[in-house]
Structure 1
């Protein structure tokens, strides 16, 4: 039977199906407490993460990744509806047809080749 070498075993991931009961893999986030005998979870406040905010935040030199002063981004996809007899333009989400049109504009040569092959198949 095939058996992986020792260096390969270090790379293979251990799953809960490969070990006996009582093994919990976890999510590498660390524990915040422990389970008591009655099954409840007790939080150990020494383990709880705390984030320190600088005291003089206005004069702090580091800036956030996203500014709060940015205006909301407008969607370039719209739809026309009629409300009370007047045409109204509303924003809409990206649809499948929009994605295909965008893909075709980026990969035009493939589209032309596919159309050529389909044309030859019809003849």
Structure 2
């Protein structure tokens, strides 16, 4: 989550529907959350279960301002699963956990309002 846009930012340039389909956004359930003291910005290291087809993937998420580590396990979140992995210190972040900035700029996780199967794709 490195692209924090203010709510008064205009919409991005138009894209084709096929461009949207290239971004694979899936639902997963957080199965493990650890502190990430070596990260430059405060973050957690997450393990997220995206179901049988994708499996468990790791993510670094800068969500410490609004979430305690022990309330994350069992929570469903949305993530981009088809970006190349990013090395963050000694940690390899394999998916981009998605969120929105609140009024103070802290990240609020993007999640379904009802449970859906892990691996479900956004459309």
Q: Which TM-score band applies after superposition, normalised by the shorter structure?
A: under 0.3
The structure where strand makes up a greater share of residues is: 2
- Asked which structure has the greater CA Rg, the reply is 1
TM-score by length of 1: 0.16
TM-score by length of 2: 0.16
